[in-house]
Amino acid sequence: MGNWIANNWFSVVVLATWLGLNIFIFINFFMIFEKGDSYSYTRELLGSALAWARGSAACLNFNCLLILLPVCRNLLSFLRGTCTCVQRSMRKQLDNNLAFHKLVGYTIALMTAIHTIAHLFNVERYCDAAQKKTDTLPGELSSIGEDGTWLNPVRSPTVTPPYFAFTTIAGLTGVVITLALILMITSSTEFIRRCYFEVFWYTHHLFVIFFIGLVFHGAGRIVRGQTSDSMETNNYEKCHNSFTQWQNSKSSNRDDDDHHNDKCTVPAFQGNEPGTWKWVLAPMILYIFERTLRFYRSRQTVVITKAVSHPSKVLEIQMQKRGFKMEVGQYIFINCPSVSALEWHPFTLTSAPEEDCFSVHIRSAGDWTDNLIKVFQEQAENPPRLEVDGPFGTASEDVFQYEVSMLVGAGIGVTPFASILKSIWYKFQRDDQRLKTKKIYFYWICRETGSFAWFADLLRSLEQEMICSGKDGFLNYRLFLTSWDSKIAGHVVIDFDHATDTVTGLRQKTSYGRPIWENEFSKVAEWHPKSTVGVFLCGPQALGKTLKQCCHQYSSLDPRKVQFYFNKENF
């Protein structure tokens, strides 16, 4: 429990604050429109649907203010850089940016549903009131205010709800906003993002249309309340039951002021000033600045120094770019105009900060990566032009802030740890005394033997360097092969007594099957009883849940003893 609090207390504070503000904003605006005197006559037409529509609209504005902030990567990288002296729990919150982005997005979807349903009732009631006779209060309210002080926006009894929805600013922008949101939400599912990333990428940029529609949605000032001057001469409690006298007041001789003041004058109404732009203007400007900076950096020349095709359809690209500075575990976005002029895809850097160039390893995982690998193979002598944006920070930047680190990579998810291990190799060569980390446990889980090939050379270099520097106990690595055939099994049996592994050629023998994480964590906890252990994962969600549970289970309740802190790559 103590470690859970240490890992999550700041996230809990942020979520509790966010939830509390949502509840406060909803209730505050709900009560204004449900109990406010200026909306008494409006409630005669719409009932409580008015308050539900306005309460959800206020929460929409608040969450639309937040939705862009978690995807401002330069802002997050800047905050991560300025938070190096802050507790790791606060820095870790920045790594939950996409989770918070999704949470806010789902909240926007929920509030949009409430807002839309409430306004469907409102439009229906507006149309019904417009058809009533003037000897009823709804009918009288619908007939007054031809000079712009009207209450009911439906000015003709022949207007239908569909006609209203497609002929008013509020209705038309509402339809556009809702359709854009539906497409963005549905295309953001895990299946679509993994199998049809291009669909997700293109539809997610409908947020531009969403925000434009949102800003203009309230321009028609459909929801209206009684003016303050009108409330002085037409008090709802006094006048709503004697609405028939309004007609007499309108037609009476008003020369007699005293006689006029004894009567209820015709109420006048006005629409609320559009306020959504006040909520979203600042984040929109910030995001425009973010995209401008990205565009500027992406236009800088990228020189491809080397491209290597590895087994298992993995392409390594080594590049150089003026002014490019990175930290371990960071990632970049890559665009290849000859493949797609608009699509940008994130890739973790596999190079070390100490190297003269930066590199990525790209595995075939969809149409875009397939086409990119194909283009590089076809144009080996003259590789295609690439545009690069970044680098951006991730949780792996903190790997050297822990005394002990456990690095877990699944498949191509090993890429951030390639950067880390290379950096360690350079630090050993320079005999860097500032290295806080005393021990690293590295786990790599793959389905096929070909996946080990491109990484084995780095591990062999590390093995040799650690032996030469007398630090052969610094890195403990375990490779796990989860799928194998009878041929591999035969080689393993025959070469069991060899000093090196049959599959990788490394001193450390490959394990077959999946790690038993309970055993791994219990061993680390036993060997490092008073250490702070950072657990870093680049892999699937299911594995993340297992590791997070183990972090909580094997951390001591005594903060002076072993503590495991879970970190996961998110981009």
- How far is it, in rounded angstroms, from Cα 485 to Cα 489? 6
Which whole number is the average pLDDT over 510-533?
A: 86
Label residue 215 by pLDDT band (50, 70, 90): very high
pLDDT attached to residue 253? 44
DSSP state of 387: E
Residue 427 has pLDDT above 60, yes or no: yes
Which whole number is the average pLDDT over 386-410?
A: 85
Encoded amino acid at 152, one letter: N
Q: In a 10 Å sphere around its CB, with 0-12 CB exposed, 13-18 middle and 19+ buried, how is residue 271 labelled?
A: middle
- How far is it, in rounded angstroms, from Cα 375 to Cα 398? 36
Which whole number is the average pLDDT over 24-50?
A: 92
Both structure tokens of 351: 């190079």
Query: Which uninterrupted H or E stretch holds 444?
Result: strand 439-446
pLDDT attached to residue 458? 67
Question: Tens digit of pLDDT for each residue in 232-260?
Answer: 888 888 888 887 777 544 444 444 444 44
Which whole number is the average pLDDT over 388-413?
A: 83
Question: Tens digit of pLDDT for each residue in 94-141?
Answer: 778 888 999 999 999 999 999 999 999 999 999 998 888 778 888 888
Phi, psi angles (nearest 5°) of residue 520: -65, -45
Label residue 498 by pLDDT band (50, 70, 90): low
Does CATH number 2.40.30.10 belong to domain 307-392? yes
Query: Which uninterrupted H or E stretch holds 491?
Result: helix 486-494
pLDDT attached to residue 485? 54
Which whole number is the average pLDDT over 522-545?
A: 86
Residue 484 has pLDDT above 70, yes or no: no
pLDDT attached to residue 505? 55
Query: Which uninterrupted H or E stretch holds 82?
Result: helix 73-82
Question: Tens digit of pLDDT for each residue in 188-197?
Answer: 888 888 777 7
- CA-nearest of 335, 345, 500 to 412 is 345
Which whole number is the average pLDDT over 39-59?
A: 92
Label residue 53 by pLDDT band (50, 70, 90): very high
DSSP state of 479: E
Phi, psi angles (nearest 5°) of residue 84: -65, -25
Which whole number is the average pLDDT over 155-166?
A: 87
Residue 170 has pLDDT above 60, yes or no: yes
Residue partners of 386: CB distance under 8 A and separation at least 6: 302, 304, 317, 319, 334, 335, 336
- CA-nearest of 124, 112, 162 to 46 is 124
- How far is it, in rounded angstroms, from Cα 385 to Cα 378? 14
Percent of the chain with pLDDT over 90: 24
Label residue 500 by pLDDT band (50, 70, 90): low
pLDDT attached to residue 8? 67
pLDDT attached to residue 288? 93
Of residues 471 and 40, more confidence is placed in: 40
Of residues 345 and 493, more confidence is placed in: 345
* Residue-range domain boundaries for the chain: 2-228+236-247+264-280, 307-392, 395-568
Of residues 80 and 484, more confidence is placed in: 80
Going 41 to 47 to 48 to 50, the CA torsion angle's sign is negative
- How far is it, in rounded angstroms, from Cα 346 to Cα 200? 14
DSSP 177-213: HHHHHHHHHHTTSHHHHHH-HHHHHHHHTTHHHHHHH
- Whether the full predicted model's pTM is greater than 0.85, yes or no, is no
Q: Is 149 helix (H, G, I), strand (E, B) or coil?
A: coil
Question: How far are the Cα atoms of 71, 105, 256 from residue 98, in angstroms, in the given order?
Answer: 7, 10, 68
Query: Which uninterrupted H or E stretch holds 373?
Result: helix 367-378
Give me the count of residues in the chain.
571
Cβ 563 vs Cβ 402: under 8 Å: no
Residue 194: how many CB atoms within 10 A of its CB? 11
Percent of the chain with pLDDT over 70: 84
Residue 293: how many CB atoms within 10 A of its CB? 15
The mean pLDDT value of the chain amounts to: 82
Of 310-314, 404-408, 413-417, 504-508, which range is least confident?
504-508
Question: How far are the Cα atoms of 42, 115, 238, 407 from residue 122, in angstroms, in the given order?
Answer: 10, 10, 25, 56
- CA-nearest of 216, 29, 25, 9 to 92 is 9
Residue 305: how many CB atoms within 10 A of its CB? 13
- How far is it, in rounded angstroms, from Cα 38 to Cα 269? 9
DSSP 111-130: HHHHHHHHHHHHHHHHHHHH
Encoded amino acid at 130, one letter: A
Please name the residue that has the structure tokens 């790690």: 515
**What CATH number is given for 395-568 in this structure?**
3.40.50.80
Going 320 to 322 to 325 to 331, the CA torsion angle's sign is negative
DSSP state of 568: E
Both structure tokens of 387: 């545009």
Which whole number is the average pLDDT over 201-211?
A: 91
pLDDT attached to residue 258? 46
pLDDT attached to residue 181? 94
Question: Tens digit of pLDDT for each residue in 449-474?
Answer: 665 666 776 677 776 766 776 666 77
Q: In a 10 Å sphere around its CB, with 0-12 CB exposed, 13-18 middle and 19+ buried, how is residue 516 labelled?
A: exposed
- CA-nearest of 543, 563, 550, 570 to 6 is 563
- How far is it, in rounded angstroms, from Cα 426 to Cα 503? 26
Residue 85 has pLDDT above 50, yes or no: no
pLDDT attached to residue 494? 45
Both structure tokens of 487: 């041929």
